Amino acid sequence: MNISESKRLFAHAQNFIPGGVNSPVRAFRAVGGDPIFIKRADGAFIFDENDNGYIELINSWGPMILGHNHHLIREAVIDAMDSGTSFGAPTAKEIEIAELIVSMVPSVEKVRMVNSGTEATMSAIRVARGYTGRDKFIKMEGHYHGHGDSFLISAGSGAITMGNPDSPGVTKGTAKDTLLAPYNSLEAIEKLVDANKGEIAALILEPVPGNMGLVTPMPGYLEGLREICTREGIVLIFDEVMTGFRLAPGGAQELFGVTPDMTTLGKIIGGGMPVGAYGGKKEIMEHVSPAGPVYQAGTLSGNPIAMAAGLAMLHHLNDHRELYGELLTIGRKIAEGIMKINLELGYNYTVNHLGSMYSLFFSNDPVVDFESAKKSDTVLFGKYFQAMLKRGIYLAPSQFESLFLSTALRDDLITQILQAHRESMIEIHS
Ligand code: PLP
């Protein structure tokens, strides 16, 4: 495969952009080789600067659940552009999207739009602190909530991938209020709560984490967290930036029937534009400025182009709920196909799968938390990544990421993915 243009651009980019990229994992450091520079994308495919096409299994890290360049979103954006790109003043579209989110996401009674998942989680923690008058919060090891200082402590995603989970620049003073717990252990939460009685404002987690690879909650785990938080007056925050509108129209909270006090959203909510949101119980959200004293603002928040893209996406998902069944079928065909091929070839690697998310871990043990995820053979993953890329399949360039499937993956493409998987597994083990 000729990727000469990507190589040239990457070399050039490094003169002007730190590491040549605008988000660390894009640099392919965890898997070796040079990153692919993308020129365009359509449906299930992205195309690089040499016009090589790749079947997409990341989909812009989640947002493109309908595949790339979907006509409904493109038309909504073009239509909105005719009226100007930013006003910095309220618009009718913001009410429409807020109403739609409230109708779709069980925990959300009021919602504030922001520009990224990072802003959503930073703001949600601030509001939870303002609401409870407490400082500390609990975060799970290996979960990623964006790059706000207080979250960059045992964080997943790029933070593990880059090998510096505790980033320089995060002060000890900030870190001391972030309490860490292993995912899937209610016992650990009880201990933390006991040791910090009356001091914990919030417990934030990815209900189905995707940032240490995909891990699913043990039966009763989310319900148990709900009980503890209610008992202790702790604000339970589900970070559904990845899972919102993906695992079900109402996210993981709808799928598992557990309603948090607050929810953070991103990715799909913007249809590919930079959008995030946080929302929750009215009583809590009434603390947000200007209704209440907790300050949070944004020049481009509720931007009309971004709102148009998000509205087109959410209306489509809300009106076509059968798509979630289709996504589950696509996910099953790929995840079960991979497991079957692995067994035929004599490998017992763990595959975690839920709906349209899955991860293949190069580990023979079950992956239920950060510790077990870290046992994966990341060198072997790097070889697998390159072998798949060479065969035209674009995976997340890290073992510690979930893959995100789209409705654009037709059966013939799934067959190609599985064929590439078989060939890649043989190649990397020979
Ligand atoms: N929360 C979760 C669960 C995420 O997966 C991410 C990003 O991947 C974020 C928050 C941060 O979102 P953003 O990259 O839009 O700032």
Model pLDDT, residue 164:
46
Atom of ligand 1 nearest to the CA of 243: 3
Atom of ligand 1 nearest to the CA of 121: 10
Atom of ligand 1 nearest to the CA of 117: 12
Span 333-360, pLDDT tens digits: 999 999 999 999 999 999 999 999 999 9
Atom of ligand 1 nearest to the CA of 23: 14
CATH code for 71-319?
A: 3.40.640.10
Span 127-149, pLDDT tens digits: 999 999 999 999 999 999 999 99
Model pLDDT, residue 397:
96
- Residue 140: enclosing H or E segment and its boundaries? strand 136-140
Which amino acids are annotated catalytic? 144, 239, 267
Q: How many CB atoms lie within 10 A of CB 133?
A: 8
With a threshold of 0.90, tell me whether the complex ipTM lies above it. yes
Structure tokens at 128: 């939870």
233 phi and psi, to 5 degrees? Answer: 65, 30
Q: Which of 61, 145, 245 gets mutated to test ligand 1 (max ligand atoms within 8 A of its CB)?
A: 145
Ligand 1 center–CA 389 separation, angstroms: 24
Ligand 1 center–CA 238 separation, angstroms: 12
Q: Which of 123, 183, 242 gets mutated to test ligand 1 (max ligand atoms within 8 A of its CB)?
A: 242
Give, using CA atoms, the residue closest to atom 7 of ligand 1. 146
DSSP tag of 248: B
- For domain 4-69+321-429, the CATH superfamily is Aspartate Aminotransferase, domain 1 (3.90.1150.10)
Give, using CA atoms, the residue closest to atom 1 of ligand 1. 145
Q: What lines the ligand 1 site, CB under 6 Å?
A: 61, 116-118, 121, 144-146, 157, 206, 211, 239, 241-242, 266, 276
Please answer whether residues 246 and 65 qualify as being in contact, where contact means their C-beta atoms are separated by less than 8 angstroms: yes
Rounded distance, CA 320 to CA 316, Å? Answer: 6
DSSP lists the bridge partners of residue 136 as 200
Q: Which of 25, 149, 267, 403 gets mutated to test ligand 1 (max ligand atoms within 8 A of its CB)?
A: 267
Atom of ligand 1 nearest to the CA of 240: 3
Please answer whether residues 213 and 404 qualify as being in contact, where contact means their C-beta atoms are separated by less than 8 angstroms: no
Ligand 1 center–CA 129 separation, angstroms: 21
Please answer whether residues 393 and 334 qualify as being in contact, where contact means their C-beta atoms are separated by less than 8 angstroms: no
Look at strands 235-239 and 178-181 and give their pairing: unpaired
Rounded distance, CA 404 to CA 63, Å? Answer: 9
151 phi and psi, to 5 degrees? Answer: -100, -10
Rounded distance, CA 287 to CA 131, Å? Answer: 7
Ligand 1 center–CA 154 separation, angstroms: 15
415 phi and psi, to 5 degrees? Answer: -60, -40
Amino acid at 206: E
Please answer whether residues 360 and 331 qualify as being in contact, where contact means their C-beta atoms are separated by less than 8 angstroms: no
The full set of domain ranges for the chain reads 4-69+321-429, 71-319
Please answer whether residues 246 and 134 qualify as being in contact, where contact means their C-beta atoms are separated by less than 8 angstroms: no
pLDDT averaged per 10 residues, the chain (length 430): 96 98 94 96 98 98 98 98 98 98 98 98 98 97 95 75 66 91 97 97 98 97 98 98 98 98 98 98 98 98 98 98 98 98 98 98 97 96 98 97 98 98 98
Ligand 1 center–CA 406 separation, angstroms: 18
Ligand 1 center–CA 267 separation, angstroms: 8
